[in-house]
Amino acid sequence: MTKLQHIVPSGIVAGVALWVTWVSFTQQPAEAFLFPRLIASVFAVLALWTFGKAVLGKSRVGAGLSIEMMRNIAPGLIVMVIYVFWAAKGLGFYTASAIAFFILLSVYDPAPNGEARTWIRRAIITIGFVAVMYGLFALVLNVFTPKELLFN
Protein backbone atom coordinates (compact mmCIF):
# COMPACT_ATOMS: atom_id res chain seq x y z
CA MET A 1 0.00 0.00 0.00
CA THR A 2 2.81 2.45 0.80
CA LYS A 3 4.37 2.12 -2.67
CA LEU A 4 0.98 2.77 -4.29
CA GLN A 5 0.50 5.83 -2.07
CA HIS A 6 3.63 7.26 -3.69
CA ILE A 7 2.97 6.13 -7.26
CA VAL A 8 -0.58 7.48 -7.63
CA PRO A 9 0.01 11.08 -6.46
CA SER A 10 3.35 11.40 -8.23
CA GLY A 11 1.79 9.93 -11.39
CA ILE A 12 -1.03 12.48 -11.26
CA VAL A 13 1.44 15.33 -10.75
CA ALA A 14 3.62 14.03 -13.60
CA GLY A 15 0.59 13.80 -15.88
CA VAL A 16 -0.49 17.33 -15.09
CA ALA A 17 3.09 18.59 -15.56
CA LEU A 18 3.33 16.94 -18.97
CA TRP A 19 -0.06 18.35 -20.00
CA VAL A 20 0.90 21.89 -18.91
CA THR A 21 4.23 21.57 -20.73
CA TRP A 22 2.48 20.37 -23.90
CA VAL A 23 0.02 23.24 -23.72
CA SER A 24 2.84 25.78 -23.27
CA PHE A 25 4.56 24.45 -26.40
CA THR A 26 1.43 24.39 -28.59
CA GLN A 27 -0.26 27.72 -27.80
CA GLN A 28 0.08 30.92 -29.78
CA PRO A 29 1.57 33.51 -29.76
CA ALA A 30 4.74 31.58 -28.99
CA GLU A 31 6.46 34.63 -27.42
CA ALA A 32 3.77 34.81 -24.74
CA PHE A 33 4.58 31.27 -23.63
CA LEU A 34 8.37 31.50 -23.46
CA PHE A 35 8.55 31.94 -19.67
CA PRO A 36 5.76 29.42 -18.90
CA ARG A 37 7.44 26.94 -21.27
CA LEU A 38 10.69 27.16 -19.35
CA ILE A 39 9.04 26.76 -15.93
CA ALA A 40 6.71 23.97 -17.13
CA SER A 41 9.62 22.04 -18.63
CA VAL A 42 11.59 22.15 -15.38
CA PHE A 43 8.55 21.05 -13.37
CA ALA A 44 7.83 18.22 -15.85
CA VAL A 45 11.38 16.89 -15.52
CA LEU A 46 11.20 17.02 -11.72
CA ALA A 47 7.73 15.41 -11.70
CA LEU A 48 8.86 12.59 -14.00
CA TRP A 49 11.93 12.04 -11.84
CA THR A 50 9.76 11.78 -8.71
CA PHE A 51 7.34 9.43 -10.49
CA GLY A 52 10.22 7.24 -11.64
CA LYS A 53 11.54 7.03 -8.08
CA ALA A 54 8.08 6.05 -6.83
CA VAL A 55 7.68 3.33 -9.46
CA LEU A 56 11.12 1.91 -8.63
CA GLY A 57 10.28 1.98 -4.92
CA LYS A 58 13.00 4.47 -4.06
CA SER A 59 10.69 7.07 -2.47
CA ARG A 60 11.76 7.22 1.14
CA VAL A 61 9.89 10.27 2.32
CA GLY A 62 6.63 9.94 4.23
CA ALA A 63 3.91 7.38 3.84
CA GLY A 64 2.21 8.89 0.80
CA LEU A 65 -1.22 10.53 0.81
CA SER A 66 -3.89 9.22 3.15
CA ILE A 67 -7.64 9.67 2.70
CA GLU A 68 -7.62 12.33 5.43
CA MET A 69 -4.88 14.28 3.65
CA MET A 70 -6.84 14.09 0.39
CA ARG A 71 -9.91 15.50 2.19
CA ASN A 72 -7.79 18.41 3.37
CA ILE A 73 -6.39 19.00 -0.11
CA ALA A 74 -9.74 18.61 -1.95
CA PRO A 75 -10.97 22.24 -1.55
CA GLY A 76 -7.72 23.54 -3.03
CA LEU A 77 -7.94 21.09 -5.92
CA ILE A 78 -11.52 22.12 -6.64
CA VAL A 79 -10.58 25.82 -6.67
CA MET A 80 -7.57 25.04 -8.90
CA VAL A 81 -9.66 23.11 -11.44
CA ILE A 82 -12.24 25.92 -11.62
CA TYR A 83 -9.44 28.49 -11.94
CA VAL A 84 -7.57 26.63 -14.69
CA PHE A 85 -10.50 25.50 -16.81
CA TRP A 86 -12.89 28.43 -16.47
CA ALA A 87 -12.09 31.39 -14.23
CA ALA A 88 -8.71 32.48 -15.63
CA LYS A 89 -10.13 32.71 -19.13
CA GLY A 90 -13.64 33.85 -18.21
CA LEU A 91 -12.75 36.45 -15.58
CA GLY A 92 -9.20 37.31 -16.60
CA PHE A 93 -5.87 36.33 -15.13
CA TYR A 94 -5.53 38.87 -12.32
CA THR A 95 -9.20 38.92 -11.34
CA ALA A 96 -9.45 35.12 -11.22
CA SER A 97 -6.11 34.88 -9.40
CA ALA A 98 -7.30 37.32 -6.75
CA ILE A 99 -10.57 35.45 -6.24
CA ALA A 100 -8.86 32.03 -6.13
CA PHE A 101 -6.19 33.27 -3.72
CA PHE A 102 -8.79 34.86 -1.44
CA ILE A 103 -10.90 31.67 -1.41
CA LEU A 104 -7.87 29.47 -0.67
CA LEU A 105 -6.71 31.85 2.03
CA SER A 106 -10.17 31.79 3.59
CA VAL A 107 -10.44 27.99 3.46
CA TYR A 108 -7.00 27.20 4.87
CA ASP A 109 -6.43 30.15 7.23
CA PRO A 110 -6.97 28.95 10.80
CA ALA A 111 -8.05 32.44 11.96
CA PRO A 112 -11.70 32.67 13.12
CA ASN A 113 -14.14 33.54 10.33
CA GLY A 114 -16.45 35.47 12.66
CA GLU A 115 -14.12 38.43 13.09
CA ALA A 116 -14.04 41.40 10.70
CA ARG A 117 -10.32 41.82 11.39
CA THR A 118 -9.65 38.39 9.86
CA TRP A 119 -11.47 39.27 6.62
CA ILE A 120 -9.74 42.66 6.37
CA ARG A 121 -6.35 41.00 6.82
CA ARG A 122 -7.20 38.41 4.13
CA ALA A 123 -8.26 41.18 1.73
CA ILE A 124 -5.03 43.11 2.34
CA ILE A 125 -2.93 39.97 1.81
CA THR A 126 -4.85 39.24 -1.42
CA ILE A 127 -4.30 42.77 -2.73
CA GLY A 128 -0.60 42.48 -1.92
CA PHE A 129 -0.42 39.11 -3.69
CA VAL A 130 -2.02 40.47 -6.86
CA ALA A 131 0.21 43.57 -6.77
CA VAL A 132 3.32 41.41 -6.52
CA MET A 133 2.09 39.16 -9.36
CA TYR A 134 1.35 42.15 -11.55
CA GLY A 135 4.74 43.69 -10.78
CA LEU A 136 6.52 40.42 -11.47
CA PHE A 137 4.79 39.45 -14.71
CA ALA A 138 3.94 42.79 -16.32
CA LEU A 139 6.77 45.01 -15.11
CA VAL A 140 9.80 42.83 -14.31
CA LEU A 141 9.45 39.87 -16.68
CA ASN A 142 7.50 41.79 -19.31
CA VAL A 143 5.47 38.70 -20.27
CA PHE A 144 1.97 38.56 -21.67
CA THR A 145 -0.96 37.54 -19.51
CA PRO A 146 -4.42 36.68 -20.79
CA LYS A 147 -6.83 39.57 -21.35
CA GLU A 148 -8.43 40.52 -18.10
CA LEU A 149 -11.20 42.63 -16.64
CA LEU A 150 -8.75 44.54 -14.44
CA PHE A 151 -5.26 45.91 -15.20
CA ASN A 152 -5.78 46.08 -18.96
Q: Write the pLDDT tens digit of every residue in 40-68.
A: 899 999 999 989 998 888 876 666 667 88
Give the pLDDT confidence score for residue 151 in this predicted structure: 46
Does pLDDT of 148 surpass 60?
no
d(CA 89, CA 84): 8
Residue ranges making up the domain that contains 94? 66-152
d(CA 112, CA 94): 27
d(CA 58, CA 24): 30
Same domain for 70 and 124?
Answer: yes
**What pTM did the predictor assign?**
0.65
Same domain for 74 and 54?
Answer: no
What H or E segment, with its residue span, contains residue 149? none
Instruction: Write down which residue in 63, 88, 110 finishes a domain.
Output: 63
